[in-house]
Amino acid sequence: MTDLLEPRAIGQSLVRRDGEQKVRGTATYAFETPVEHPAYAHPVQATIARGRVTAMDTAAAQALDGVLAVLTPFTAERLASVEDAEYAVLQSPDVAFRGQLIGVVVAETSEVARQAADAIAVTYAEQPHDSELRTDRPDLYAPEQVNAGHPTDVVDGDVEAAMRSAEVTVDHTYQTQMLHNNPIEPHATVALWEPGADVPLTLWDSTQGVHPDRAAVSEVFGLDEEQVRVVCPYVGGGFGSKGNPHANVMLTTMAARALPGRPVKLALTRQQMFFLTGYRTPTIQRMQLAADHRGRLQAIAIDVVEQTSKVKEFAEQTGVPTRMMYASPNRRSTHRLAPLDVPIPSWMRAPGECPGMFGPEVALDELAVELGIDPVRLRIVNEPEVDPDTGKPWSSRHLVECLRDGAHRFDWDSRGPGRRREGDWFVGCGVASSVYPTMRQATSTATVRHSNGRYTVEIGAADLGTGAWTILPQIAADALDADVADVEVRIGDTRYPTASVAGGSSGTNTWGSAIVQAAREFRGKYGADPRDGDEASGDVDQASPNEDHAAYAFGAQFAEVRVHADTGEIRLPRLLGVFACGRIINPRTARSQLIGGMTMGMSMALHENSVFDTRIGQVANHDLAEYHISVNADVQQIEAHWLDEHDPYVNVMGAKGIGEIGITGTAAAVVNAVHHATGVRVRSLPVTLDKLLPGLP
Amino acid sequence: MKPFAYAHPGDVAEAVRDVAAEPNAVFLAGGTNLVDHLKLGIATPDLVVDVRTLTSREVTDLPDGGLRLGAASTNSEVAADRRVRERYPVLAQALLAGATGQLRNMATTGGNPLQRTRCVYFGDVTTPCNKREPGSGCSAVGGYTRYLAVLGVPAALPDPTAPETCIATHPSDMAVALAALDAQVQVLGPAGTRTIPFGELHRLVGDDPSTDTTLEHGELITSIDLPPLPAGTRSSYRKVRDRASYAYALVSVAAVVSGDDVRIALGGVAHKPWRATRAEELLRGRPLTDHAVRAAMDAELAGAQPQPGVGGGNGFKIPLAARTVVATLRELTSEATR
C-alpha cells in the first residue's frame, strides 16, 4: 500500500505545454534539426526475399555529381557487435527478407542520393523463399518465452475433458491480420560523427527512448555510452515502432562515420517503413470455450500460431490475456511460431493484448448467442475473484463496473434481438472487454534542481504525442508541493538522467515514480525553503512496488455499426469505451490517448490490412493510399469515459497507464456488432464488405 | 528518380510542339499523379512541359446548352460550379467522391482522366509490370487483385508472363461520370485539333498494356464538353469503397436516366470506364424495377472474370457491381416519383 499523492495539479485538464510549438510548426522533429551543411542518405534495399548479393555495381552511382559515399556489404565498416541480427547492417551479402538494407548512398541532396541509390545494379544468387503463415507447417516451434517474458504455454486442468462434458461449447478459429505502424512522422535520424570530440557521436533520432536508443547504438559500434548523445524532444507518433531502434538508425550512423564532421540525414519513405520498422504479426487463434447453461465457463483455451522472421525472433504474447481475464477451472494457452523469410515483426500498440483480445472476446459473443444470454451479463458471470493466472488478489479490478456503466451510457438494453433494419441499413450493437497490464520499468532516474523559486526536473523521457511534456510537471508539482507553473520538466536527451522506453504503457508509472522519488529526496534534504542550485535525484529501482497484487487496467467497449443492405459497406455511428485505469493525471491528454487507441482498434477492425504477397515476400499495399487507416467519415461519435478509480498498490500517483488499453477489445466489439446487425459472423480481420455480401439479402 | 528538363512555354501551341519534338516528354498539369510517379521512378521523362496556366480554367456555357470545362479547371472548381451541380449531379458527385480536398484543389479536368492505374505492382518498380515496363510480365495475376479488373479481361486466367497480360483498372471517378454523360474531349495536337468521344478516349488492354488512351504523343486535352441533357434527366454517382473517404472504388456506378433512356457506366472493374451497353439496351423503354435491372446487369456481367489472388481475390466485385447498379437506379427512380 502506498499513500497516494494528494492531487492538486494532478487531475487538471492542463493544455499541452508543447501544443503551441507544434501548431506553429516550430517544434523540431528529428529530420528538421538545424545542422550545418547536412548530407542526405538514401538506402538500397534487396529486391529478393532470400539469397545472396553477389555483386553491386556502384560505378554509375559514384559518377553522379554530388555523391559523397556509397556503402555496400562489401565496403562497409565491420561492426563491433552483430549479436542482434537486425542491427547487423551491411555485414554480410546474405539476404534474409525482401527489402533488407543492402547499401546506402550519401549525397549533397536527397534527390541525388535517391537517384544514385536507384542507379546501383545489384546481382543476386536467389534462393527459394517461404513466407506463408499456415497452421499445418511442420516447422512450427514453441519459443522459449514470448514477448515481455511470459511463459510460452500455460496449462491448468483438462480443457479437452471439459469440452467433452460441457453443456455448451464454442470451438472456432479466429485470425488477426498483419498490421503496420504508420506514425505520421516517419523513422528519421540525423547523425553527426566527430572523431576528436568528447562526445564523438550525436544522433537526433525519432525514438521512444533516447537512453535505450543510445545503449543499442553504442553496443553495435563499440562505443562507450558516454561517447554517444541521443536527442529527441518531439516524436510524431511511434506506437511501438520507435521503441527499439531499427536498422535505419544503424545505417545512418554508419553513413555518418564514413563522412566525419558532416551531419547525415535519413528519413525512411513511407514505402520503406513497410519493410524496416517492424509490424504486428498476423495471428491464427483457435479458441475453445466450455460453459454450463448459465454461462459459467468450465474451460477456456487459446492456441496461437503466428510468425516470426528467421533472422530474428519476435514472439507476440497473444495468448496472455486469456490467462487472466475470466474465471474458469480448466485453462490452456499456447504459442507456436512459424519462422519465415519475412521482415522482423516487433511491437505495435498493445502487442499481445491487442490481437489477444480479439479471438476470446468474439468467442464469448458466440457463446452468448449460443446460450441466449446477454453478452454483458456473460462477462459479469465469469468475473474472477483473484487473478486466475497467479492466484494473487487484484490491485483493483473494475471490469464489471465498466461494463455496467458503459451499458447504461450506451443504452445497451435497447439494442433488441438483432438484424434491425433502418431504411437501407442494417443496424447492430456489440460489446467487448479491454485489458492492459500495469507495468513499471526497472530503471529511471530524475533530478530536481531549484533556482529562484522555480524547479527544473530532468529525465530522459519521451513524449510521442502522448502528453508527457505536460503531465510530468503535474506529477512533479504535487510531489514538490509547488505550483505547476513553477515547474519545468526537460525530457528527450541523454544529457538528462536515464529513463526507460515509452512502451508497455509504463511511461507515467516509471518516470512519474522517479520524479516523485527525486522530489521527496529534494524536500528531505532541503526542506520547504531551498537555496538556488540545490539538487537531488531519485530512482526507480524495481519493476513493481508491490509483488503481492495483480495490477491491470480494465475497460468495456460498445460499438454500433450500420451495414448497407445492398453493398455491405460498414459505418460506425457510435463507439463508446469506459475504462478503469487508476487515477487520471490529465483528463485532456488522457481522453486523446484513449480515443486514439479506440480509433486504432476500429481501424484494425475495418480497414488496416498489410496484404502480404507470399509469391514475392512483401506487403503488396505498402503506402498510405492502399494501406487504409480509418478516416473521420467512417465514424460519427467516439467517446471515452473512465471510472474514478483509486488503486493504492500500483504507484504513488495511483496511475495505471493508458497508452494501450484503448486498442484492446475494440475489434471484437465491432465484429460482434456486425454479427448483431447482419447475422454474419466474421472470424478473420479486417471486416470488409466482401465478407458480408454473401450473407445479405 | 531521374533528373529531367522542365519547360513552361508561353502558349498551348508551343507546349504541344515541345512535347511532340521530344519522344520522352510529358505534360504536367495538377501533378497529383505524375509527381508521385517521378519520385518513385514509375515515370522517367526527359522533359516535363508545364501546361497548368496555358489552357482555360473556366467553365463556360456552350451554344447547344451544354458546358465546356477548361482543361485547367480544378476538380474542386468543377464540383462547386452551380451549373454542374444542377445539370450534371453525377459529375459533381463523382468529383467529390475522389481523393481528398487537398488533391481536388490541385487535380484538373484535363489531368484527372489521364491518371494511371493504382495497381500496386505498377506502382512498385521492383516488380514486373507490362504497363510500366512492356514485356516484363504481369505481377498482378494471382497477386493482390482486390482493386483490379473483372471486365474486359480474357475469359481464362491470364498468363502472367505474356507481354499482353494486364488486369489493371482505371482509377478515376470523374472519368466514369464523363463516360455516362457521353462527354466530348477537345484535343490539340501536332496535326491540329480534334474531338474524341469520351468513350473512345480510354482503351482496353488489347495487345498493348502500356497505353491507357487513344491520345497520340503530343496531343493535349484543352477542354471537355458536356452535351446538353433532355429536360427531366436525373443522374447520380455511387462509389463503393473500403473506407468512407480517400479510397479508390471497389465498384462505382454513374447512372443517367432520361425518359426511356438509361446510361450506366461502371468504375473499378475494367481498364477503362465501362459503359454497360448491354444492360442499357435491355433496360431501354422498360420500367427500372429491381428485378429488371438485376437481370440486365447479370447479362452485362456474364463475361466477367474473377481474378483470384492474395487476400481473397476480386470475385466479389461481380455481385457487388450488380447490386450497386440496382441500388443506384432504385434511388434515382424513387426520387423521380417522389
Domain spans, chain A = 33-127+182-276, 147-179+280-438+548-695, 445-540
Q: What per-residue confidence (pLDDT) applies to A545? A: 66
Q: Which three cell numbers stand for residue B123?
A: 506502382
Average pLDDT over residues A660-682: 98
- Among A569, A622, A691, the strongest candidate for a mutation testing the B interface, having the largest count of B CBs within 10 A, is A569
* Cα(A150)–Cα(A544) distance, integer angstroms: 16
Residue type, B139: S
Residue for grid cell 544514385: A116
Tell whether A628 lies on the interface with B, counting CB pairs under 8 A. Answer: yes
- Cα–Cα nearest to B291, from B256, B328, B335, B326: B326
A121 touches chain B (CB under 8 A): no
Cα separation, A398 vs A258, whole angstroms: 56
Map residue A319 onto helix, strand or coil: coil
Q: How far apart are CA B64 and CA B230, in angstroms?
A: 12
Dihedral sign, Cα of residue B82, residue B83, residue B89, residue B90? negative
User: What proportion of chain A, given as a percentage, has pLDDT over 90?
Assistant: 97
Tell me: cis bond preceding A686? Omega within 30 of 0 counts.
yes
CA-based radius of gyration for chain B = 20
pLDDT digits (tens, 9 = 90+) for A28-39: 999 999 999 999
- Specify the pLDDT at position B157: 85
**Shared-domain flag, residues B194 and B266:** yes
C-alpha angle B94-B95-B100 in degrees, rounded to nearest 5: 120
Cα end-to-end span (Å), chain A? 58
B32 and B158 share a domain? Answer: no
CA end-to-end distance (rounded Å), chain B: 56
Mean pLDDT score of chain A:
97
Find chain B residues with C-beta within 8 A of A612's C-beta: 310
Mean pLDDT over B204-210 rounds to 96
Instruction: Provide the residue type at B248 as one letter.
Output: Y
Contacts of A103 (CB under 8 A, 6+ apart): A43, A44, A56, A58, A70, A71, A72, A73, A90, A117, A120
The domain A33-127+182-276 is classified under which CATH number: 3.30.365.10, 3.40.718.10, 1.25.50.10, 3.40.50.920?
Answer: 3.30.365.10
Is it the case that residue A155 has pLDDT exceeding 80? yes
CATH code, A147-179+280-438+548-695: 3.30.365.10
CA distances to A31, A188, A250 from A203, rounded to whole Å, are 11, 10, 11
Kindly report the number of other CB atoms within 10 A of residue A142's CB atom. 13
Q: Which of A115, A566, A571 sits opposite B324 (nearest CB)?
A: A566
Q: Mutual orientation of helices A247-257 and A210-221 as an angle, nearest 10°?
A: 60
Of A611, A631, A632, the CB nearest to B310: A611
Q: Which of B2, B143, B316 sits opposite A693 (nearest CB)?
A: B316
Cα separation, A169 vs B33, in Å, equals 54
Residue in chain A nearest B309 by alpha carbon: A613
Residue of A408, A354, A403, A397 whose CA lies nearest to A597:
A354
| Range scoring the smallest mean pLDDT among A259-268, A536-545, B196-205 | A536-545
- Asked if residues B275 and B200 have their Cβ atoms less than 8 Å apart, the reply is no
DSSP state at residue A679 = S
Q: Take residue A601 and report the three cell numbers written for it.
A: 482498434
Share of chain A above pLDDT 70, in %: 99
Q: How far apart are CA B16 and CA B188, in angstroms?
A: 8
Query: Could you write out the DSSP letters of every residue in B18-63?
Result: HHHH-TTEEEESS-TTHHHHHHHTS---SEEEE-TTTS---EEE-T
Same domain, B140 and B255: yes
Angstrom distance (rounded) from CA A403 to CA A660? 19
Residue A67: partners with Cβ closer than 8 Å, 6 or more residues away: A61, A105, A106, A107, A112, A113, A116
Interface predicted TM-score of the whole assembly (ipTM), two decimals: 0.97
Check whether B128 has a pLDDT greater than 70. Answer: yes
CA distance, residue A603 to nearest chain B CA (Å): 10
Task: State the nearest Cα–Cα gap between A571 and chain B, in angstroms.
Answer: 8
Strands B249-258 and B261-267: antiparallel
Residue B311 lies in domain: 57-338
| Cα atoms in the Cβ-side hemisphere of radius 13 Å centred on A306 | 36
B196 with B174, same domain: the answer is yes
Describe chain A by its helix, strand, coil percentages, rounded to 5. 30, 25, 45
The pLDDT tens digits of the residues spanning A324-343 come to: 999 999 999 999 999 999 99
CATH-assigned architecture of domain A445-540: 2-Layer Sandwich (3.30)
Q: Do B41 and A118 touch (CB under 8 A)?
A: yes
Residues B194, B89 share a domain: yes
pLDDT at residue A650, as a whole number: 93
Q: Give A137: exposed, middle or buried? Use CB within 10 Å, 0-12, 13-18, 19+.
A: middle
**Rg for chain A (alpha carbons), in Å?**
26
Chain A residues close to B240, C-beta within 8 Å = 567, 569, 689
Does A632 contact chain B (CB < 8 Å)? yes
Mapped onto helix, strand or coil, the DSSP state of residue B253 is: strand
In b/e form, how buried is each residue of B250-262, taking b as 16+ CB within 10 angstroms? Answer: bbbbbbbbeeeeb
Give B254's contacts (C-beta < 8 A, 6+ positions apart): B90, B94, B176, B177, B179, B180, B181, B235, B236, B237, B263, B264, B265, B266, B267, B273
B33 touches chain A (CB under 8 A): no
CATH number of the domain enclosing B13: 3.30.43
pLDDT at B338 over 60: no
pLDDT value, residue A89 = 98
Mean pLDDT on B267-283: 98
Q: Report, as residue numbers or ranges, the catalytic residues of A.
A: 660
Q: What is the pLDDT of residue B154?
A: 86
- Does A609 touch chain B if contact means CB atoms closer than 8 Å? yes
Task: Give yes or no for residue A541 having a pLDDT over 80.
Answer: no
Question: Same structural domain for residues B331 and B193?
Answer: yes
Cβ-nearest to B323 among A566, A616, A630:
A566
Q: Closest-CA residue in chain B for A609?
A: B311
| Residue B70 confidence class, pLDDT cut points 50, 70, 90 | very high
What pLDDT, on a 0 to 100 scale, did the predictor assign at position B336? 63
Say how far residue B228 (Cα) sits from the centre of its chain. 21
By DSSP bridging, strand A550-564 and strand A535-540 are unpaired
- The pLDDT-based confidence of B337 (bands split at 50, 70, 90) is low
Cβ–Cβ of A690/B312 closer than 8 Å? yes
Domain count, chain B: 2
Which secondary structure element, helix H or strand E, spans residue B80, and what is its range?
A: helix B75-80
Core vs surface per residue A41-60: b (16+ CB within 10 A) or e:
bbbbbbbbbbbbbeebebee
- Is it the case that residue B78 has pLDDT exceeding 80? yes
Q: Is the pLDDT of residue A416 over 90?
A: no
φ and ψ at B246, to 5 degrees? 55, 55
In this structure, the answer to whether residues B110 and B214 fall within a common structural domain is yes
> What proportion of chain B, given as a percentage, has pLDDT over 70?
99
* Residue B184, pLDDT score: 98
B27 shares its domain with B70: no
Q: Mean pLDDT over residues A106-133, rounded? A: 97
Q: Do B169 and B257 fall within a single domain? A: yes
CA angle A235, A236, A239 (to 5 degrees): 90
Residue keyed to cell 491540329: B192
Cα dist from A332 to A140, A266, A286, A318, B168, whole Å: 18, 46, 11, 13, 47
The alpha carbon of residue A514 and the mean position of all alpha carbons in its chain are separated, in whole angstroms, by 23
- A628 and B143 within 8 Å at the Cβ level: the answer is no
Rounded Cα–Cα distance for residues A190 and A251 (Å): 11
Question: Do A33-127+182-276 and A445-540 share a fold?
Answer: yes
The H or E element spanning position A338 is strand A330-340
pLDDT digits (tens, 9 = 90+) for B142-154: 999 999 999 999 8
Same domain, B41 and B64: no
A450 vs A200: CA distance, rounded Å: 31
Q: Which of B123, B246, B324 is the closest to A567 by Cβ?
A: B324
Q: Which of A338, A334, A297, A301 has its CA nearest to residue A318?
A: A334
* Contact B237/A at CB under 8 A: no
Whether residues B146 and B24 fall in one domain: no
SS (H, E, C) A369-436: HHHCCCHHHHHHHCCCCCCCCCCCCEEECCHHHHHHHHHHHHCHHHCCCCCEEECCEEEEEEEEEEEE
Mean of pLDDT values over A118-147 = 98
Does B2 contact A115 at a Cβ distance shorter than 8 Å? yes
CB < 8 Å to B127, chain A: 616
pLDDT exceeds cutoff 80 at B335: no
Strand B25-28's sheet: what is its strand order? B5-7, B47-50, B25-28
On the CB side of A611, CA atoms within 13 Å amount to: 22
The residues, any chain, with a CB within 8 Å of residue A571's CB and separated by 6 or more, are A425, A561, A562, A564, A634, A635, A636, B244
**Same-domain check for residues B322 and B244:** yes
B/e letters for A159-186, b = 16+ CB within 10 Å, e = fewer, are beebbeebebbbeeebbbbbbbbbbebb
Residues in B touching A47 (Cβ below 8 Å):
126
How many Å apart are CA A81 and CA A78, to the nearest integer? 9
Do A238 and A464 form a contact (C-beta atoms < 8 A)?
yes
Residues in chain A: 697
CA distance B118 to A307: 29
Is some CB atom of chain B closer than 8 A to the CB atom of A443? Answer: no
For the cut 80, the answer to whether the pLDDT of residue A523 exceeds it is yes
Q: Give the pLDDT band of residue A633 (cuts 50, 70, 90).
A: very high
pLDDT at residue A1, rounded to an integer: 59
For residues B74-78, average pLDDT: 98
Mutual orientation of helices A666-678 and A587-606 as an angle, nearest 10°? 50
Under DSSP, the state recorded for A280 is B
Q: A575 - beta bridge partners?
A: A559, A638
Question: How much is the pTM?
Answer: 0.97
Q: Does A620 touch chain B (CB under 8 A)?
A: yes
* Nearest residue to B246 (alpha-carbon basis) of A463, A642, A633: A633
- Among the listed residues B284, B187, B185, B184, the one whose alpha carbon sits nearest the alpha carbon of residue B228: B184
Chain B residue with minimum CA distance to A46: B126
pLDDT at A546: 72
Q: Are B322 and B294 in contact (CB under 8 A)?
A: yes
Put simply, whether B310 touches A (Cβ < 8 Å) is yes
Query: Which of A280-284, A649-653, B234-238, B320-324 is the least confident region?
Result: A649-653
Q: How far off is chain A from B244, nearest CA to CA, in Å?
A: 5
